[in-house]
Amino acid sequence: MDAADSARRAQLLASVPSYRLCIGCGACSATCSAGQFTQFNIRRIHTAFNCGQTDTLAEQLDSCMLCGKCMLVCPRGVNLRSLIIRMRQLLAN
């Protein structure tokens, strides 16, 4: 954790404050359209981002179709679509 990149995390939370409420329940990844056919796991990705482990995330996020199904089941009302778009932006910089 000492080595983690917390600046990007702060930027992510600033633009998608609902992500603060995530409890890592895995409903998003369970229901995810892309995850049905590939190894793509949105919960693992946002958890890794949150912990500053961002190495291969940009590439992984390419599998997301932004369909928004994950948002429909999230019990904490996390705005996942915005979260994904913002993660992509931050990873591109």
Partner 1 sequence: MNKFAIIGTGPAGIEAAATLAAHHNEVDIYEQENAPLGNIRDKAFLFPNFADADEVAGRLLARLDHPLIHLYTDKGIDQLEETPDGGWSVNGNTYSRVLLATGYRTFDAGRKEELGYGIYRGIRSSLEMEQMLREQKITNANGDKPQRIVFLQCVGSRDEKTGNLYCSKLCCVTAVKQAIETRKLLPDAEIFIFYMDLRMWGQHYEELYRQAQQEYGIRFVRGRISEAGGTYDGRVQIKSEDTLMGLPLKITTDLLVLMVGMEPSEGTRRLAGQCHICGDYGFAQSIDPHTDDNRTAHRGLYVAGACKRPMTLTDAIADGRSAAVVMLAEG
What is the residue type of 63? S
Distances from the Cα of 64 to the Cαs of 42, 56, 68, in angstroms?
8, 14, 9
Task: Label residue 48 exposed, middle or buried (CB < 10 Å: 0-12, 13-18, 19+).
Answer: middle
CB 79 to ligand SF4: min, Å: 9
Q: Is 68 in the site for partner 1 (CB under 8 A)?
A: no
CB 66 to ligand SF4: min, Å: 5
CB 30 to ligand SF4: min, Å: 8
Q: Which residue ranges make up the site for ligand SF4 (CB under 6 A)?
A: 22-28, 32-34, 42-43, 64-70, 74-76, 78, 80-81, 84
